[in-house]
Amino acid sequence: MPAIPPLVGPVGRCIAIKDLAVAMAGKRVESGSRIAAGNVAGADSSLMARFRRAGLVTLGRTATPEFAYSTTTEGVLYGATRNPWDPTRTPGGSSGGSGAAVAAGIVPIAHATDAAGSIRVPAASNGLFGLKPTRGRVSMGPDADEVFNGLAVHGVLSRSVRDSATLLDLVQGPETGDPYAAQQPERPYAQETHRSPGRLRIGVLTRPWGARAVDATIVDAALRSAVLAESLGHRVEEVQVGLGIDWQEFILANARLWSTNLVTWIDAFAAAFERPVDATTVEPEMLASYAYGQQVSGAEFVHALAMRNSVARAIGQYFAEYDLLLTPTLPELPILLGTYAEGAEGADGLGWLRQLFHRSPFTAAFNVAGTPAMSVPLETDPATGLPIGIQFAAGYGREDVLFRVAGQLEQAAPWAHRTPVVWAGRHDNT
């Protein structure tokens, strides 16, 4: 594996590791939950071994909501994580701790995972670049072949496109025993960031699946980004994109997959630490999701798996005609801490998943389809100065196209000069 080039940022090769899905030998991995408090990994996971071989120095763990089951990071175990741009607001989730750490300049890059937007949501919330790779691009081994039945992937958050591309070069590729792997890229992704993408056909979608309202400032930002893409020579037009199934069916199937996986994780930690599964160890939303998952039948689970195929076929058909899809990453600016669950108080497991997808309706389809997508910090809100992320999605295995476009956008509309109010380095204007 080649040596990693220097990373942009004040602390060089340092990386922070999300408290989920990556095991560091002798270090805690608690998945943001009291039921897993004190859990210590016995060995490095495959990804951690690749981080070490790349010469990265681990600075510490970053916060996650309990079992990554939210797009805000306000867990009971370690408390709420705050957004460096406005500490009264969420940094997103579930990789919110990683997003806050990179945005604040503590590290140039941080590990993240993404099962429904958990790389892209913190990227958008914190003014960062974040790319969710193709399913099978980065190994989940050796303790798992898939997480959330293939919906979840590993990735990173960074301030620059180059850093994300370089890290993906260093960690991508299968491990022995992986059930499948994405086709290897023709050249390093770091090289793609300097290559012309050519003239691409880009669809624009500003009305999300499920038809929830999108704030006007977000729609305006997406449309300005579409104009920018057009000015760079791309063919841009508004589109409608089908999922292959009804939105409520999509939510139901995801709830069944998520909650049944949750049951196995909670039961394993309960048995390992001889802890009860109750309000002293698990947060209310997760208790509701745990109870819901216990009631899902084998047949319902198999039907939920079939949903992946329906969505993948529909999304694949779109990318047979278009190179990219442009959407807002989020339908609203980062919300105030403590408000995420408004309207879903006391919800069951299905209701909580519906709330999660209501908060982030543009992102989950690409987890189900297994296709890559990225959030690019192209815009800011004129009234508040808060960052606005724009999502670009591509067909299966086409991270190369995304990195080419990301490099082009970064050059045309640079964002590196923007820093939040909470910043570990020197502000440009001081």
**Closest-CA residue to 101 (of 17, 225, 185):** 17
Instruction: Say how many C-beta atoms besides its own lie within 10 A of residue 429's C-beta.
Output: 6
Residue 132 near residue 120, CB atoms below 8 Å = yes
How far apart (Å, rounded) are the C-alpha atoms in residues 430 and 427? 5
Angle between helices 247-273 and 349-359 (to 10 degrees): 120
Task: Name the β-bridge partners of 75.
Answer: 79
Handedness of CA 213, 216, 217, 222 (dihedral sign): positive
Residue 196 a catalytic site member: no
Q: Is-contact 46 9, C-beta < 8 A?
A: no
DSSP at 95: S
- 70 labelled catalytic: no
Helices (H), 283-363: 284-294, 298-319, 349-359
- What is d(CA 65, CA 79) in angstroms, rounded to the nearest whole number? 9
DSSP-H helix ranges across 9-160: 46-53, 96-103, 120-126
Q: Which of 45, 118, 139, 158 does the annotation list as catalytic?
A: 118
Report which secondary-structure segment, H or E, holds 220.
helix 216-231
Q: What are phi and psi of 2, to 5 degrees?
A: -70, 155
- 384 C-beta neighbours (distance < 10 Å), count: 13
The HSE-up count of residue 273 (CA atoms within 13 Å, CB side) is: 18
CA-based nearest residue to 20, from 1, 39, 43:
39
Residue type, 259: S
Helix axes 399-412, 161-171, angle to 10 degrees: 160
Catalytic-labelled residue, pool 33, 45, 94, 259: 94
- Do residues 129 and 377 touch, judged by C-beta distance below 8 A? yes
- For residue 18, indicate whether it is catalytic: yes
- Say if CB 135 and CB 173 are below 8 A apart: no
User: Tokens 């815009």 appear where?
Assistant: 379
Beta-bridge mates of residue 336: 89
Which active-site residues does the annotation give? 18, 94, 118
